[in-house]
Amino acid sequence: MAKKTKSPYKAWRRYRNRENTCTTLRKVFDYATTNYGKRIAFQFVDGGQQYTYSNFRTKTERLSQRMSRFGIKHGDRVAIFSQNMPNWVVAYFAATAFGRVAVPILPDSSENELSNILHHSESKVIFISKRLLPKLSEACKERLTLIIDIETFEFLKKNKEDFKCNGWVKDPQPDDLACIIYTSGTTGKAKGVMLSHRNLSSNLAAAFKAKPAFKNDRFLSILPAAHAYEMSVSTIYSFYVGATCYTLQKPPTPTILLAAMKKVKPTIVCSVPLIIEKVVKNSVLPTIRKSRILSWADKRIPHILHWFIGRRMVSTFGGKLAFFGIGGAKLDPAVEQFLIDCKFPYAVGYGLTETAPLVCNVMVNKKKHLGSIGPATYKVDIRLDNVNPANGEGEIVVRGDNVMLGYYKDPERTLQVLDDEGWFHTNDIATMDEQGNYYIKGRLNNTILGPSGENIYPEEIEQVINNIEGVEESLVMERDGKLVALVKFTDNAINWDQAVEDKWFEELENRKKAVLEWVNKKVGKNSKIGEVDAMKEPFEKTATQKIRRFKYKDSHGDEPEKPVKDDGKKDEE
């Protein structure tokens, strides 16, 4: 008897039905826990906090009921301040699936940032890990109704007078507020981005179109769940499709990450450029250069060598990797070309917190266009505004169900980015090719105006600098009418412990001169840098590893002044 095959039409209809049904996080919650009950939804890589979809539902409903008994009702703000863990997702759905508003807070936020967010959002509840509890000020503790240990769900603070059982909840509607995500990005003052259930649900449908995932997939979560990229495209998306999402218990250092990859054998990982760039620049390429055989193969039979390296990289990442998503910042073109040559299963996405976040994406099996962020994602409209006819550059503006409601308590800034027709102005400058693929040039507010009125994009100069051997990262800015590059050299290139020695200063000056000369050979005359300053400490970054540029606006580097030797002679009057 012939074995029956599944109908592609029936499968398509099922996924289409899910998209039409799951218009709120409550409906996502109901759909996933009903259809995938016995499957594992979340767990730590090394075990612990394991939830099947059925157990997840029970735990979440009971937690919601406990909050209701203390008057935490629909519309109330529920903050989550913790490192990644399965219980983070329980807390998130205990808020959003019952009409409350989640306020995810990045775990590396300072005490002052935490206090400001809790105060501005008017949060009544905080889920917090023991490790981060010292950051919660006494003033915040006084204002909060409930303080909950996210690792055990023990109520660390609760008042008998609040036990009124009047925390009414209701199923949220698509345009109800689901969460407020605070972001300072790279430009300074934090903004509370209001995302609706429609915003997040439309992003789930777009994620499925970009990379279809299924119940047998294994996600490895390595970025902060409080960031829109990881939260939407990885954590909630895995839940949406009935897959299993594994979480690290420690920071994703190379050693811990590779061990987790080997154990989980993930099929889907969402990452930032810095991770894959370090793998390629610090491990793969040096290995090729040091080996006579590999160097010979790179020159004579590069296609065979690259195919071999690509298979080895997939094997290093567990052997089952089908999708390595890269987003949050621009990928180095040299690294991307290497990934293309190796046929590594990467994909590039572009988005912002304000767009929940997907705007553009490149699919794994589609032809790659070097440096492109791809075409518009599913059901999102994009155009370029104020296009320069000379070079085709314009600002990306976006419209669709993914665009935020606005900035919380900040109508002035909301009106600056959202026009009357619903177009969101991203502040990103790009060009578009004939196939509809977009290419980011830089940020509008980072653009430097050259002496002849031309636009200079510091990001493009930084890419040239970052490809110099011995350079870890860089930042280009304008100072006193000239371009200055702040450069963080690798530890093996500059030994700061020898900073009092004459030889060290000589070596540093040679390094800086080499950077200056190399860059000015590679860039156009309007982008030539006039000075290089060395940074001792790594640049301060956002959750997606973008440098916080505003922090270095007036920086002159970290290098010490060369000491003046005392020759024993008195100064002449």
- Residue 463: band (very low, low, confident or very high) from pLDDT cuts 50, 70, 90: confident
Q: Are 427 and 395 in contact (CB under 8 A)?
A: yes
Quick one: tokens of 439?
A: 């290419």
Question: 0.75 cut: is pTM over it?
Answer: yes
> Tell me, what's the pLDDT at 572?
38
> Tell me, what's the pLDDT at 453?
60
- Residue 359: band (very low, low, confident or very high) from pLDDT cuts 50, 70, 90: very high
Quick one: tokens of 465?
A: 């600098």
- Residue 540: band (very low, low, confident or very high) from pLDDT cuts 50, 70, 90: confident
pLDDT digits (tens, 9 = 90+) for 420-429: 999 999 999 9
Quick one: tokens of 210?
A: 């970009």
Calculate mean pLDDT across residues 443-454: 74
Average pLDDT of the chain? 89
* Sheet order of strands, 268-271 included: 51-52, 40-44, 244-247, 218-221, 268-271, 323-326, 346-351, 358-361
> Tell me, what's the pLDDT at 563?
55
Quick one: tokens of 254?
A: 């190379």
- What's the Cα-to-Cα distance from 523 to each of 391, 459, 473, rounded to whole Å? 17, 12, 18
Q: Are 327 and 297 in contact (CB under 8 A)?
A: no
Residue 51 phi, psi (nearest 5): -130, 125
pLDDT digits (tens, 9 = 90+) for 117-163: 999 999 999 999 999 999 999 999 999 999 999 999 999 999 888 78
Q: How far apart are CA 228 and CA 230, in angstroms?
A: 6
pLDDT digits (tens, 9 = 90+) for 393-424: 999 999 999 999 999 999 999 999 999 999 99
> Tell me, what's the pLDDT at 189?
66
- Of the listed ranges 72-81, 285-294, 367-376, the least confidently predicted one is 285-294
Look up residue 206 and give its amino acid: A
- Report the percent of the chain where pLDDT is more than 90: 64
Q: Would you say residue 355 has pLDDT above 90?
A: yes
- Of the listed ranges 237-241, 497-501, 526-530, 561-565, the least confidently predicted one is 561-565
Q: Are 213 and 224 in contact (CB under 8 A)?
A: no
> Tell me, what's the pLDDT at 544?
72
> Tell me, what's the pLDDT at 400?
97
Quick one: tokens of 506?
A: 């000589």
Q: Would you say residue 569 has pLDDT above 50?
A: no
Q: Are 120 and 140 in contact (CB under 8 A)?
A: no
Calculate mean pLDDT across residues 230-252: 95
> Tell me, what's the pLDDT at 285?
86
Look up residue 85 and give its amino acid: M
Q: How far apart are CA 569 and CA 156, in angstroms?
A: 69
Q: How far apart are CA 289 and CA 233, in angstroms?
A: 36
Q: Are 456 and 449 in contact (CB under 8 A)?
A: yes
Q: Are 489 and 469 in contact (CB under 8 A)?
A: no
Quick one: tokens of 7?
A: 């109908």
Calculate mean pLDDT across residues 54-82: 97
> Tell me, what's the pLDDT at 571?
41
Quick one: tokens of 111?
A: 């005490």
Q: Would you say residue 306 has pLDDT above 80?
A: yes
| Residue ranges of domains in the chain, CATH in brackets | 18-221 (3.40.50.12780), 272-446 (3.40.50.12780), 451-552 (3.30.300.30)
Collect all residues with Cβ–Cβ distance below 8 Å to 510 and sequence separation of at least 6. none
More confident residue, 380 or 364: 380
- Residue 279: band (very low, low, confident or very high) from pLDDT cuts 50, 70, 90: confident
- What's the Cα-to-Cα distance from 190 to each of 117, 195, 209, rounded to whole Å? 9, 16, 32
> Tell me, what's the pLDDT at 570?
42
> Tell me, what's the pLDDT at 451?
65
Quick one: tokens of 342?
A: 């190796």
- Residue 251: band (very low, low, confident or very high) from pLDDT cuts 50, 70, 90: confident
CA quadruple 430, 432, 437, 440: dihedral, nearest 10: -10
